Amino acid sequence: MKELVFATHNNHKLEEMRAILKNYNVIGLNDIGCHEEIIEDSDTLEGNAIIKANFVTDHYNLNCFADDTGLEVEALDGAPGVFSARYAGEGCSFQDNVKKLLKALEGIENRRARFRTVIALNLDGQQYTFEGIVNGIIVKEQHGEKGFGYDPIFLPDGYDQTFAEMPLDLKNNISHRGLATQKLMKFLEL
C-alpha cells in the first residue's frame, strides 16, 4: 500500500482522510516525527495548503498533501474564511468559534454560507491543487454530536441534518473536504 503524508496534527481530519483514501496508508505529521507548528500566514486557503505541503516536502523529502478549509458566511462578507480555525482568537476551541459565529449572526436573516477546502499535493517533485465547495446555511442553534468545528451549525443544501448529525460516510461523500479529496483520489488513480 502506498504511503502519503497528510500535513496535519488534527486527528479528526486525519480520520476523515483515512476513511476516504482507503487505498493509501495516510499518515500524519506526528507519524513522521514532525511536532512543530507550521505557520499558516497566507491570506488565502490555497496559500496555506501550499505552505504546509511545502514544509513537509522541504524538511522531510516526502510526498505529501495538505489542506486548508474555511467557512465563508455571505452576510459576514466571507468571514471567518481563512481565519475559521482561530475566529475567536489564538488558542480558541471549536466551541468558542461556534459561539462567536452564532453571536455575529444574531438577528440576521441571510444565513447562507459555504465550506471551502483547498488541497495541495506535492507528488514526485510536482505540485497540484484541488478544491471542494459545499453550500448551505448556518442554523440558529447546534445540532448533533459528530464531526468537529462548525459541523453542528452547518446545514448543507438538500439535507435536513447538520454535518454533526450525519453518519461519517455520508458527510465524507458530500462535504467540502470530501469533494476536494475525491478530486485528489481520481488524480492519484490516473
> Which residues form the catalytic set?
68
Phi, psi (5° rounding) for residue 55? Answer: -60, -50
How is 51-92 classified by DSSP, letter by letter? HHHHHHHHHH---EEEEEEEEEEGGGTT-EETTGGGTT-TT-
In angstroms, what CA-CA distances link 11 with 26, 50, 103, 147, 190?
12, 20, 28, 11, 28
The C-alpha R_g of the chain, in whole angstroms, comes to 16
Among 37, 19, 22, 113, which residue's Cα sits nearest to residue 70? 113
